[in-house]
Amino acid sequence: MLKETVNLFKNVYQINPKSTYFSPGRVNIIGEYTDLAGGLVLPAALTIGAYAAVLPRKDKIVRFYSGNVGKSIITSNLDNMPFLEADGWANYLKGMFVVLKEYGIHIPHGFDICINGNLPNGAGLSSSACIEVLMGKIILTELGIELSNIELVKLAQKCENQYVGVNCGIMDQFAVCFGKENTAIMIDTNSLEYNYTTLPLDKYELIIMNTNKRRSLQESKYNVRKAEVAEAVENLSTVINFDTLCHLTLDEFLQNKDVIKNKNAYKRALHLVSENKRVKDAYKALQGERFEEFFDCIDNSHTSLKNDFEVTGFELDTIVSLAKKHGALGARMTGAGFGGCAIMFVKKGTAEDIKEKIRVEYESIVGYAPTFYDALLGEGTRKLS
Ligand code: GLA
C-alpha cells in the first residue's frame, strides 16, 4: 500500500515525493460517547489507515489528491483556506493548516500531498481523525516543529469541532495519535491521563463487523446528542455539584434524576453515567483476567447505546444480535453509531464459522452483506521514510 501510494503520487504530480507517513484508524472497545462528558474511553489504533506521500512546494499552494475518493486534484492556498462543501474529504486536511496557523505556527510554504488508504470511510473507524492527525504530523515534521502529541491531538479535535463543525470529543484523535501495537488505551478524557492495557488476544479474537450502512458524523445526530446531554447537565447542576457528568456515580445520578424534565435528556445522561462505570468495570475485569465480566460490560454497553442513548439502529442491532446468537462472547456497536461498525470478541479458532453464519443471516435480513476485518492493533501516526 505504501508503494502504491508513492506510485500514485508520481503519476499524479509527475515528480517523486520527499517523505511518506502513515496514520491508523481506531476501534473503540468500550466507553461510547463518554468523551462528551469528561468520561473514560478504551479505544485502540488499528493497523489499517491512511498512507501519505508528500513533497514541499516553494509557493503557498497546497494540492491534495486521494486514491480513494474523488480522484482529482484539489487545490488550495495557504493564505485563504475556507471550508468548501465541494472539497469534501480535503476539508479535514485544510482545517489542520488553519488550526495550526491559528495556534501560531508559521507555515511558510505549501505541499503536494497524496493520500491513499485501506480504512473504510464513514464506517465509524475514524477515517476523519486519521487524516486530521496525519496532516498535522506531516506539517509539523516537514517544518521541523516540535509539538507534543497531546497538543496535536487537541488541534485535530479543534479542526473537527470548529472547521468541519462536528462537536466530537477527543477520543478518536487521541487513539489515532497514541496507538501502540496489540494494546488498547484507557483515556480519562477529562484530565487526558492515559494508560496502556493489553487485550487477551492470545485467547480471543477481536473482529470488526461493518454493517455497510454508511453515515457521516456531519449527517448523524451527533450534535443533537451533545445538546441533549448539555440539557441534562444544566438541570442536574441546579441540585448537585459536579465538575463533569461522568464524575457522578450511578447512585448520585439516580438520586437526583427527577430534576431532568426532558425524558430524552435523562436517558442520554443515564447512558453516559452507566457507560463510564462499565468502562471502569471492564478495565478492572481485564486486569483481573475475569474475561466473562469484561464481555458482559461489552454486551451491556450495546444495550445502553440502543435503549438509552439511541444511536444504534436496525443494521447495528441486527448484526450485534446475530453475533451473540452465533457464539460471540461479547458484541457491541463501536464509534458514533447510526450505522458503521460493531465489534465482537470470539474464542480463538471460532471466528470463521461465526462470521459465515452472521454473513448469511445478515444478508437475508438486511438485504446486503456485511464486511469483516480481523482487528489488528497497531502504532499511532508516524513518519515512514
Ligand atoms: C465519534 C467521536 C468521538 C466519540 C465517538 C462516540 O467517533 O468523534 O469523540 O464521541 O463518536 O464514542
pLDDT for 220 equals: 67
Residues in the chain: 385
Which atom of ligand 1 lies nearest, measured to the CA of 129? 8
**What was the pLDDT predicted at 25?**
97
Q: What is the pTM of this model?
A: 0.95
Q: Which protein residue has the closest C-alpha to ligand 1 atom 2?
A: 168
SS3 for 30? strand
Evaluate whether 353 touches 325 at the Cβ level (below 8 Å): no
* Mutation choice for ligand 1 from 35, 312, 316, CB with most ligand atoms inside 8 A: 35
Place of cell 474523488: 70
- Give the per-residue pLDDT at 217: 59
CA dist 371 and 119 (Å) reads: 12
Which grid coordinates are listed for 93?
486536511
Q: How far apart are CA 178 and CA 336, in angstroms?
A: 20
Q: Is 299 a catalytic residue?
A: no
Q: Which atom of ligand 1 lies closest to the CA of 128?
A: 8
Helices 127-143 and 90-103: crossing angle, nearest 10°?
Answer: 50
Give the burial string for 326-358 (b: 16+ CB within 10 Å, else e).
bebbbbbbbbbbbbbbbbbbbeeeebeebbeeb
* CA-closest residue to ligand 1 atom 4: 33
- Looking at ligand 1, which atom is closest to the CA of residue 217? 1
C-alpha pair distances (Å), 166 with each of 36, 221, 227, 385: 12, 10, 12, 33
Measured distance CA(97)–CA(90) in Å, rounded: 11
What DSSP assignment string belongs to 246-300? GGS-HHHHHHHGGG--SHHHHHHHHHHHHHHHHHHHHHHHHHTT-HHHHHHHHHH
Ligand 1 centre from 143 Cα, in Å? 30
Percentage of the chain modeled with pLDDT above 70? 99
Ligand 1 centroid to residue 341 C-alpha, Å:
13
Atom of ligand 1 nearest to the CA of 34: 12
Average pLDDT over residues 333-361: 97
Going from the Cα of 169 to the center of ligand 1, the distance in angstroms, rounded, reads: 6
Ligand 1 atom nearest 41 alpha carbon: 12
Query: Within 10 Å of residue 45's Cβ, how many Cβ atoms?
Result: 29
Mutational test site, ligand 1, from 171, 272, 279, 333, max ligand atoms within 8 Å of CB = 171
C-alpha cell at 376: 489488528
The reported pLDDT for the residue numbered 121 is: 80
What is the C-alpha to C-alpha distance for residues 160 and 155, in angstroms, rounded to an integer?
A: 9
Task: Measure 300 CA to ligand 1 centroid, in angstroms.
Answer: 18
CA of 177 to the centre of ligand 1 (A): 15
195 three-class SS:
strand
Q: Give the Å distances, CA to CA, from 50 to 53, 119, 171, 226, 231.
A: 10, 7, 18, 29, 37
Residue 306, pLDDT score: 98
Name which residue sits closest to atom 11 of ligand 1, judged by CA: 336
Amino acid occupying residue 75: T
User: What local confidence, expressed as pLDDT, does residue 216 receive?
Assistant: 63
| Phi, psi (rounded to 5 degrees) for 341 | -110, 155
C-alpha cell, 367: 438485504
Q: Residue 55 C-alpha to ligand 1 middle, in angstroms?
A: 32
What pLDDT does residue 270 have?
Answer: 98
Q: Which residue CA neighbors atom 8 of ligand 1 most closely?
A: 168
Binding-site residues, ligand 1, Cβ < 6 A: 28, 32-33, 35-36, 126, 168-169, 171-172, 335-336
Q: How large is the average pLDDT for residues 319-325?
A: 98
Average pLDDT, rounded, for the chain: 96
Please pick, among 35, 112, 172, 308, the residue that the annotation labels catalytic. 172
Q: What is the pLDDT of residues 213-267, one digit of tens each?
A: 977 655 668 889 999 999 999 999 999 999 999 999 999 999 999 999 999 999 9
pLDDT in the model for residue 221: 84
**Per-residue pLDDT averaged across 333-356, rounded?**
96
Q: How far is CA 157 from the centre of its chain?
A: 11
Ligand 1 atom, smallest distance to 36 CA: 10
Closest by Cα among 218, 197, 119 to 134: 119
Residue 170 CA to ligand 1 center (angstroms) comes to 8
Indicate which residue's Cα is closest to atom 10 of ligand 1.
33
What is the rounded radius of gyration, in angstroms, for the C-alpha atoms of the chain?
21
- Grid coordinates in use for 249? 456515580
